[in-house]
């Protein structure tokens, strides 16, 4: 079952367009959404949540069109805080209790205690990391089935990011739950994502299981002489640096004699960078 399914989503602005975007977020999975600034990630999320009108396409949440009735089943965290910063934890608990029918006060305070967040302090007086933890705790504590997260760990230190990623993994231990996680911090996805969707300039470049992406793409380094002699038909993208070339190859094009070239561990950052800033050999 897909907790979220987007079919042929289109949205046109003056200088940017989403073009036939298709996304699936199956139950029990964490799906990462990556791409450069302005690629269309936030626009997709806003169209999914009916916060922005789409030009065409179809969005289904749990097999249904979006409606206010589904709010209990969706947890949302934007890059910008959705919480009134003059609230204390007690204020927030009261508001959420009156908003969500499945609000779990016990679970919320469990997270607050684990994070050592003071109950009586105004949220604006908390650190950035603590505020983000409060948002995510509030997001999870009404027992949604789907989390839609837009840059939830942006600007946080590695320790706090690790704690939050643990929360996400714990959330999908319930196989009915799933997460759509839009982020620039691709290293976070390397730890927790099942599938990764890469969007650039409003178009999906690939939508694959993370394991398959890591297996299918290889980045090698070539000096200038090696690059001149290299079979250009085997290159997906390349980037010229001051002293060498970074070359992205699909595994199906990898020849035995290419093993002699320097290969680093291929990361999502490498793949994304070479697709966005790299060139095709025919360019």
Position 29 scores a pLDDT of 97
For 20, residues 6+ apart whose C-beta sits below 8 A from its C-beta are: 8, 9, 10, 57, 203
Give the per-residue pLDDT at 264: 73
As a whole number of angstroms, the distance between CA 201 and CA 31 comes to: 19
pLDDT values of the chain reduced to their tens digit, one per residue, 283 residues: 899 999 999 999 988 899 999 999 999 999 999 999 889 999 999 999 999 999 999 999 999 988 878 889 999 998 776 788 889 999 999 999 999 999 999 999 999 998 889 888 898 898 888 888 899 999 999 999 999 999 888 888 888 889 899 999 999 999 999 999 999 999 999 999 999 999 999 999 999 999 999 888 989 899 999 998 888 999 999 999 988 999 999 888 888 777 788 777 789 999 999 999 999 886 5
Comparing CA positions, the residue from 260, 226, 254, 257 lying closest to residue 240 is 226
How far, in Å, CA of 91 to CA of 84, rounded?
10
What distance in Å separates the CA atoms of residue 24 and residue 74, rounded to the nearest whole number?
A: 15
Q: Where are the domains of the chain?
A: 2-201, 213-277
SS3 sequence, 28-70?
Answer: CCEEEEECCCCCCHHHHHHHHCCCCCCCEEEEEECCECCCHHH
Query: Are the beta carbons of 18 and 44 closer than 8 angstroms?
Result: yes
Residue 243, pLDDT score: 87
Q: What is the mean pLDDT of the chain?
A: 91
Any idea which residue has 């006060």 for tokens? 105
The predicted structure's pLDDT at residue 81: 67
Angle at 6 between CA 152 and CA 99, to 5 degrees: 50
The CATH class for the domain spanning 2-201 reads alpha beta
* Distance in angstroms (rounded) separating the CA atoms of residues 200 and 40: 7
């Amino acid at each position: 079952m897909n907790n979220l399914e987007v079919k042929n989503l289109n949205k046109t602005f003056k200088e940017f367009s989403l073009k036939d975007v298709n996304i699936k977020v199956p139950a029990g999975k964490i799906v990462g959404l990556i791409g450069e600034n302005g690629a269309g990630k936030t626009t997709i999320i806003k169209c999914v949540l009916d916060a922005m009108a789409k030009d065409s396409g179809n969005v289904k949440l749990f097999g249904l069109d979006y409606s206010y009735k589904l709010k209990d089943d969706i947890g949302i965290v934007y890059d910008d805080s959705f919480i009134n910063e003059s609230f204390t934890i007690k204020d927030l608990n009261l508001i959420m209790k009156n908003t969500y029918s499945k609000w779990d006060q016990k679970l919320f305070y469990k997270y607050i205690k684990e994070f050592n967040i003071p109950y009586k302090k105004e949220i604006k007086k908390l650190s950035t990391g603590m505020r983000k933890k409060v948002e995510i705790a509030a997001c999870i504590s009404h027992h949604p089935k789907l989390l839609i997260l837009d840059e939830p760990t942006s600007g946080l230190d590695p320790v706090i990011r690790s704690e939050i990623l643990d929360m996400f993994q714990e959330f999908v231990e319930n196989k009915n739950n799933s997460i759509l996680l839009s982020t620039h911090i691709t290293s976070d996805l390397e730890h927790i994502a099942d599938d990764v969707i890469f969007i650039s300039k409003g178009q999906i470049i690939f939508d694959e299981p993370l394991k398959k992406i890591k297996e299918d793409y290889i980045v090698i380094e070539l000096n200038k002489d090696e690059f001149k002699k290299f079979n250009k038909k085997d290159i997906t993208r390349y980037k010229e640096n001051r002293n060498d070339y970074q070359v992205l190859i699909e595994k199906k094009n990898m020849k035995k004699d290419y093993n002699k070239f320097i290969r680093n561990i291929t990361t999502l950052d490498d793949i994304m960078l070479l697709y966005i800033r790299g060139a095709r050999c025919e360019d």
